[in-house]
Amino acid sequence: MTNKLRACYTDSPDDLSINYFPLFIRTEKGKFLALDLGGTNFRVLLIELSENHFEMKSKIFAIPQHIMLGSGEQLFDHIADCLAKFMKEENIMKERLALGFTFSFPLRQLGLTKGLLKSWTKGFNCSGVVGNDVVQLLRDAIKRRGDISIDIFAILNDTTGTLMSCAWKNQSCRIGLIVGTGSNACYVEKQKNAELFDEPDAGSGQVLINTEWGAFGDNGKLDYIRTQYDKNIDQDSINPGKQFFEKMISGMYMGEIVRQALERFTKEGLLFGGKGSDLLFTKGRFYTKYVSEIESDYSGVYTNCREILEELGLKHATEQDCVNVRFVCECVSRRAAHLVSAALCTLLNKMDEPHVTVGIDGSVYRFHPHFHNLMMEKISHLINPHLKFDLMLSEDGSGRGAALVAACASAKKR
Q: Does 359 bind ligand GLC (CB under 6 A)?
A: no
Taking the complex as a whole, the smallest distance from the CB of residue 89 to ligand GLC amounts, in Å, to 27
Task: Read off the amino acid at residue 93.
Answer: M
**Which of 74, 102, 109, 184 is in the footprint of ligand GLC by CB under 6 A?**
184
Q: Which candidate, 95, 94, 130, 93, places its Cα nearest to that of 115?
A: 130
CB distance 243 to 214 below 8 Å: yes
Task: Read off the amino acid at residue 401.
Answer: G
Please say which residue, 37 or 404, places its beta carbon nearer to ligand GLC: 37
Q: From edge to edge, which strands make up the β-sheet containing 53-61?
A: 53-61, 42-50, 30-37, 97-103, 150-156
Q: Does 159 bind ligand GLC (CB under 6 A)?
A: yes
Binding-site string for ligand GLC from residue 115 to residue 154, where x marks contact by CB under 6 A and - marks none: ------xx--------------------------------
CB distance 150 to 97 below 8 Å: yes
Taking the complex as a whole, the smallest distance from the CB of residue 122 to ligand GLC amounts, in Å, to 6
**Which of 19, 21, 28, 39 is in the footprint of ligand GLC by CB under 6 A?**
39
* Distance (Å, whole) CA 76 – CA 279: 35
Taking the complex as a whole, the smallest distance from the CB of residue 259 to ligand GLC amounts, in Å, to 22
Q: Does 104 bind ligand GLC (CB under 6 A)?
A: yes
Residue nearest to ligand GLC (CB): 182
Select which of 15, 17, 36, 43 is catalytic.
43
**Which of 158, 293, 321, 396 is in the footprint of ligand GLC by CB under 6 A?**
158
Q: Which of residues 252-311 bind ligand GLC (CB under 6 A)?
A: none
CB distance 141 to 76 below 8 Å: yes
Please say which residue, 16 or 82, places its beta carbon nearer to ligand GLC: 16
Q: Which of residues 161-180 bind ligand GLC (CB under 6 A)?
A: 178, 180
Please say which residue, 360 or 392, places its beta carbon nearer to ligand GLC: 360
Please say which residue, 121 or 304, places its beta carbon nearer to ligand GLC: 121
Q: Does 157 bind ligand GLC (CB under 6 A)?
A: yes
Q: Quick check: is 43 catalytic? A: yes
**Beta bridge partner(s), residue 35:** 44, 101
Please say which residue, 121 or 206, places its beta carbon nearer to ligand GLC: 121
Q: Quick check: is 326 catalytic? A: no
Q: Does 19 bind ligand GLC (CB under 6 A)?
A: no
Please say which residue, 276 or 362, places its beta carbon nearer to ligand GLC: 362
* Distance (Å, whole) CA 409 – CA 204: 16
Select which of 104, 183, 363, 398 is catalytic.
104
Phi and psi, residue 285, nearest 5°: -90, -5
Q: Which helix (H) or strand (E) holds 116?
A: strand 114-117
# residues near ligand GLC by CB under 6 A: 19
| Exposure string for 218-248, b = 16+ CB within 10 A, e = fewer | beebbeeebeebbeebbeebebeebbbbbbb
* Distance (Å, whole) CA 84 – CA 54: 23
CA angle 379, 381, 387 (to 5 degrees): 70
Q: How far apart are the first and last CA of the chain?
A: 46
Binding part of the chain for ligand GLC, among 101-109, 266-274, 341-349, 402-410 by CB under 6 A, reads 101-109
**Radius of gyration of the chain measured on its C-alpha atoms:** 22
Select which of 36, 77, 158, 218 is catalytic.
158
CB distance 412 to 151 below 8 Å: no
Residues known to be catalytic: 43, 104, 158
| Residue numbers at the binding site for ligand GLC (CB under 6 A) | 38-39, 104-106, 121-122, 157-159, 178, 180-184, 212, 214, 246
